[in-house]
Chain A
């Protein structure tokens, strides 16, 4: 079992839909990042969380430390949101990170 699990692995949505991507982890963490990677492109850091909830535009990220779970929500999804979303967990009081395998999102117009 991977220490960081993401679900779903693949997601296709219609434009305008509300999207949720989940990340569960089994290690004690220092922080959790949500990252975005467009095909063939670089990494963009969306959020860094250690507790609670953060919002940036149409993106919302939440984390529940007790349940070892984080979610990334996209409201009013748009085709330009199509990308791979990666959950990265910093563990053991260090700055080393374990990455999920990513969720490949495709938003259709």
Chain B
């Protein structure tokens, strides 16, 4: 079946640096990808919608200059956390959708990425 892969699964970075997380659809073309973040003891929350070839749409309260999203191809979206701070430490997960999968319109989740900023 379709698979969405995230990389890295875990990353530790120093405060003030930037870190990039990749989300790849491995066997289908994803016109739209979504990025979510999990706050401690809370549910995952949508950060932004990433559309191939256009600017991402950010949810209210999400800093677009801090969380840069690029969806340059139909199989790859990247989330870059710029000037990371310890409070950015979190679990980030992507999902990808495409109307061209064998099972019709559906969505697949990545495994997620744990970011620790020290």
Contact = CB atoms under 8 A, between A and B. Distances in A.
B108 A86 contact: no
Interface in B33-74: 34, 36, 41-46, 49
Residue from the set A44, A45, A101 with the largest chain B CB neighbour count within 10 Å: A45
A102 B114 contact: no
Interface residues of B, number: 24
Interface in A27-84: 30-31, 33, 35, 37, 40, 42-45, 48
Contact of A43 (B32, B42, B109): B109
B112 A43 contact: yes
Interface string A2-27: 10100000000000000000000000
Contacts of B44: 86, 88, 97, 99
A33 B109 contact: yes
A44 B9 CA distance: 13
Contact of A90 (B32, B42, B49, B107): B107
Contact of A35 (B9, B46, B109): B109
Contacts of B111: 42-44
Residue from the set B34, B45, B109 with the largest chain A CB neighbour count within 10 Å: B109
Interface of A: 2, 4, 30-31, 33, 35, 37, 40, 42-45, 48, 86, 88, 90, 95-102
Contacts of B110: 42-43
B9 A97 contact: no
B108 A45 contact: yes
A44 B36 CA distance: 15
Given A4-B43, A95-B95, A101-B43, 9 more contacts: A2-B43, A33-B107, A40-B114, A43-B112, A90-B107, A96-B49, A97-B107, A101-B42, A102-B43
Contacts of A102: 43
